[in-house]
Amino acid sequence: MALIREVLGKAPVIGKDCFIAENSTIVGDVTMGDQCSVWFSAVVRGDVNFIKMGNRVNIQDGAVIHCTYEKAATIIGNNVSIGHNALVHGCIIHDNVLIGMGSIVMDNCIVEGNSIIAAGAVLLEGTHVKAGSVYAGVPAKLVKQADQSLIEDEINRISDNYIKYSSWFK
């Protein structure tokens, strides 16, 4: 059974048709939309500030979603994939975004819609990723614009796949 726990009187609110892996952790002021998934060994820690996720968000294996006390909440839009072992901390992720495996998104970053943060990329504090951008590297920089085929082939395909994968476990 997943560790879903109240902290300081605030308990996670989980939407409809979500999959929560047995060894994942969701604590505190966390609100999840519908058709979300939190995968094996992932941690969503809303203990020091709030975390709000839209619909169709998948938090893949080993990822950590956290925030900064009294400074930076974490807000994640709809149709967002957070890759394996990624760290998303005190930032805003808009709709239709892919955060690649092992990437780091630091405090006060904004990632606008239809964007991709490549695997292993590090978005330094306060980075603003404009809509339709692909960022890669350490520190992450703009490498190209995401065309419609990249949005369909990566962002939407991965999100759709995680809806399918989660159905196997329900």
Per-10-residue mean pLDDT of the chain, 170 residues long, equals 96 98 98 98 98 98 97 98 98 98 98 98 98 98 94 93 96
Fold of 3-167: UDP N-Acetylglucosamine Acyltransferase; domain 1 (2.160.10)
The structural domains of the chain, with segments of one domain joined by +, span 3-167
Residue 170: predicted pLDDT: 85
Distances in Å between the Cα of 47 and the Cα atoms of 2, 83, 166 are 17, 22, 26
- Give the integer Cα–Cα distance in Å for 31 and 27: 10
Residue 106: predicted pLDDT: 98
Q: Which of 136, 133, 53 is nearest to 88 (CA)?
A: 53
- Give the integer Cα–Cα distance in Å for 43 and 38: 8
Q: What is the pTM of this model?
A: 0.97
Q: Which of 124, 163, 121, 125 is nearest to 143 (CA)?
A: 121
Residue 1: predicted pLDDT: 85
Residue 62: predicted pLDDT: 98
Residue 165: predicted pLDDT: 98
